[in-house]
Amino acid sequence: MDAVPASRRVFVDSPNVRYEDDQIIADYRYSANEVTKRPNGVVHVKPVEKRLQIRTNRKVNRLGLMMVGWGGNNGSTLTAAIEAHRQGITWKTRQGLRKPNWLGSLTQASTVQIGLDTTDGSPVYVPFKDLLPTVDPKDIIIDGWDISSADLNESVRRAAVLDVGLQDQLEPYLKFCKPKPSVYKEKFIALNQMGRADNLIEASDQKVLDQIREDIRQMKSKADTVVVVWTANTECLCPVLEGVHDTADNLLAAIANGHEDVSPSALFAVASILEKVPFINGSPQNTFVPGVRELAQREKSWIAGDDFKTGQTRMKSVLVDFLVSCGIKPVAIASYNHLGNNDGKNLSSHQQFLAKKASKTNVIDDAVLSNDILYEPGEKVDHTVIIEYLPYLGDSKRAMDEYTSEIMFGGTNTIVMHNVCEDSLLAAPVILDLAILTELATRISFRSVDVKDSEFQPFTTELSILSYMFKAPIIQEGGHVVNALNKQRASILNIVRACLGLAPEHHMDLETKIPPFVLNDPNAPADEHRKLLQPFY
């Protein structure tokens, strides 16, 4: 098995798929329903089918991941995890010998049901990463910026997330990783962060922008694809000012004139866009002001965000969707969490907390909107979100949630949850997935077969295929936000399946529900589709 590279372990034997040396071309029928709500109350549904060709470049690019806030808990934990895998480090704990793993990563630790086994009808699951060629985490080149000058060895020790036995073995590799200087503007992150700001580019915004672009260009000289991820502190929400943030040109002029209301995260976004490298916002602030979005569209550069979805909110985006899909009506949700890491310290400042509160609150909106039997137009769930900072707990995040729902005949159903986990050990695999899936997305393009001379087109500017990883996904204009985790997962998986000419996962399993002769032609030659595909391997 090991002799076969991961990207060649799944082979689709179909006239609709062509494996060429450098690309996979799939002929795909995209089925959708066009719906019109008629004034008489009738919902008119018209199934339509669009014929597409989907092209995936097979050559995986050498990926350079640049993190803003590299020396923070998330950035240092991810860097340490990649290095631990690269060096094959094992370490002892009270529980025994440990080795690195990627638990929590969709791309590295989850599987996909690909179909039913022809011999016994059992479901066959394959690792997600075996479907299409994707970057091996060990091959990622990492770099980044931080306002703190601590090297990554110091950062990992400061974060106190990983076992000391692992920290000690990583020291020879991490002590040479030094974050590049960054920009610090007092009005955007909490004042309590000032103490670590000793690694700064002390220059005008324009010069800062130029320096960030130069840093990205340096990474471009080593990597084919560069992805920039903001995993720095949560900024307060930025006022969207007319003449400053509203258009791409105004924003560029505001940077040139050193306008104080251009946030550090917007500077990083603009630099990435101008360098045409994807920029991902892992925090909740409104980095993507209209001017940034217009610039990204104009430059045909990708952006994605906002705010990694890792713990309490991820659970909420499953639970509320589940309740509402069952026809149960959530009416009051109280979410409280306390933690003691530097992120918690920053969020103990009210303005920064408000940004986080917004992204943690809106996550139930799509579920509520999906069911007008339960909710009147405009009706809201009573929903409160509180975060407290308890330094002693460090990176351990404690979340307590109470979901109260109405059930039949005036009954109520109250679910209480207590969730304890290391904040950064949840976030690191999510950042890894974002980097890997972004690189994959840059290699996928679509063309219409129905439209004459149509050319292959990449994903649009807002990479909403990545919504699974965000609390508050940004989407292209005219689209609709999906927060429900399982729908977001299905979206990624079904697009990947489409790249291989496979239908979406429908879970109908008719093979087990109707008489076998309805599906199987008794006269078909046996085992035709089970031939070994030697030339492929």
Ligand X SMILES: O=P([O-])([O-])O[C@@H]1[C@@H](O)[C@H](O)[C@@H](O)[C@H](O)[C@@H]1O
Ligand Y SMILES: NC(=O)c1ccc[n+]([C@@H]2O[C@H](COP(=O)([O-])OP(=O)(O)OC[C@H]3O[C@@H](n4cnc5c(N)ncnc54)[C@H](O)[C@@H]3O)[C@@H](O)[C@H]2O)c1
Which range binds ligand X by CB under 6 A, 303-311, 444-452, 474-482, 514-522? 303-311
User: Could you give phi then psi for residue 39, rounded to 5 degrees?
Assistant: -60, -25
450 Cβ neighbours under 8 A, 6+ residues apart:
50, 51
β-pairing, 141-145 vs 123-127, is unpaired
Q: Between residues 279 and 308, which has the closer beta carbon with respect to ligand X?
A: 308
- Clarify whether 316 is annotated catalytic: no
Which range binds ligand Y by CB under 6 A, 49-57, 201-209, 302-310, 434-442? 302-310
- The C-alpha atoms of residue 321 and residue 324 are separated, in whole angstroms, by 5
3-class DSSP assignment, residue 235: coil
Tell which residue, 511, 527, 533, 530, has the closest CA to residue 116.
511
* Subset of 397-456 contacting ligand X (CB under 6 A): 397, 399, 423
Q: Between residues 311 and 473, which has the closer beta carbon with respect to ligand Y?
A: 311
Alpha-helix residue ranges (DSSP H) falling in 88-135:
106-109
- The C-alpha atoms of residue 282 and residue 212 are separated, in whole angstroms, by 18
3-class DSSP assignment, residue 380: coil
Q: Between residues 369 and 390, which has the closer beta carbon with respect to ligand X?
A: 390
| Nearest distance in Å: CB 344, ligand X | 5
- Clarify whether 450 is annotated catalytic: no
Site size with ligand X, rule: CB under 6 A:
17
Estimate to the nearest angstrom the gap between the alpha carbon of 8 and the chain centroid.
25
In which region does residue 361 sit, left (phi positive, over 0), alpha (psi from -120 to 50) or beta (all else)? Answer: alpha
Query: Which one of ligand Y, ligand X, none is in contact with 339 (Cβ closer than 5 to 8 A by kind)?
Result: ligand X
- The C-alpha atoms of residue 397 and residue 312 are separated, in whole angstroms, by 9
Cα atoms found within 13 Å of the Cα of residue 27, Cβ hemisphere only: 8
β-pairing, 329-339 vs 396-406, is antiparallel
Output the six-digit token pair for 321: 């969707």
- Clarify whether 471 is annotated catalytic: yes
Is residue 250 at the binding interface for ligand Y, with CB under 6 A as the rule? no
Is residue 427 at the binding interface for ligand Y, with CB under 6 A as the rule? yes
DSSP annotation of 418 = E
* Helices 73-87, 423-441: crossing angle, 10 deg rounding: 70
Question: 328-347 mask for ligand Y (x: CB under 6 A)?
Answer: -------------xxx--x-
3-class DSSP assignment, residue 145: strand
> One of 356, 395, 401, 433 is an active-site residue; which one?
356
Query: Which one of ligand X, ligand Y, none is in contact with 132 (Cβ closer than 5 to 8 A by kind)?
Result: none
* Helices 164-174, 73-87: crossing angle, 10 deg rounding: 80
- The C-alpha atoms of residue 347 and residue 341 are separated, in whole angstroms, by 10
Q: Between residues 196 and 356, which has the closer beta carbon with respect to ligand X?
A: 356
- The C-alpha atoms of residue 312 and residue 400 are separated, in whole angstroms, by 8
| Nearest distance in Å: CB 473, ligand Y | 13
Query: Which one of ligand Y, ligand X, none is in contact with 344 (Cβ closer than 5 to 8 A by kind)?
Result: ligand X
DSSP annotation of 140 = -
Query: Which one of ligand Y, ligand X, none is in contact with 361 (Cβ closer than 5 to 8 A by kind)?
Result: none
Binding residue for ligand X (CB under 6 A) from 178, 196, 245, 309?
309
Is residue 105 at the binding interface for ligand Y, with CB under 6 A as the rule? no
Q: Between residues 54 and 347, which has the closer beta carbon with respect to ligand X?
A: 347
Instruction: Provide the b/e sequence for 473-488 (b: ≥16 CB within 10 Å).
Output: bbeeeeeebbbbbebb
Question: 226-245 mask for ligand Y (x: CB under 6 A)?
Answer: -----xxxx-----------
Which range binds ligand X by CB under 6 A, 40-48, 225-233, 271-279, 341-349? 341-349
- Clarify whether 178 is annotated catalytic: no
Q: Between residues 57 and 348, which has the closer beta carbon with respect to ligand X?
A: 348
Structure-derived torsion over alpha carbons of residues 225, 230, 232, 235, reported in degrees to the nearest 10: 160
Binding residue for ligand X (CB under 6 A) from 225, 312, 467, 488?
312
Q: Between residues 231 and 488, which has the closer beta carbon with respect to ligand Y?
A: 231
Is residue 283 at the binding interface for ligand Y, with CB under 6 A as the rule? yes
Q: Between residues 233 and 250, which has the closer beta carbon with respect to ligand X?
A: 233
Is residue 54 at the binding interface for ligand X, with CB under 6 A as the rule? no
| Nearest distance in Å: CB 235, ligand X | 13
Q: Between residues 399 and 463, which has the closer beta carbon with respect to ligand X?
A: 399
In which region does residue 478 sit, left (phi positive, over 0), alpha (psi from -120 to 50) or beta (all else)? Answer: left
Binding residue for ligand X (CB under 6 A) from 193, 250, 310, 438?
310
Estimate to the nearest angstrom the gap between the alpha carbon of 342 and the chain centroid.
22
Contact 167, 159 (CB under 8 A): no
* Subset of 49-78 contacting ligand Y (CB under 6 A): 68-69, 71-75
Which sequence positions are flagged as catalytic? 307, 356, 397, 471
Instruction: Summarize as ranges the residues that interact with ligand Y (CB under 6 A).
Output: 68-69, 71-75, 145-148, 182-184, 189, 196, 231-234, 264, 282-283, 307-308, 310-311, 341-343, 346, 423-424, 426-427
Instruction: Summarize as ranges the residues that interact with ligand X (CB under 6 A).
Output: 309-314, 337, 339, 343-344, 347, 356, 360, 387, 397, 399, 423
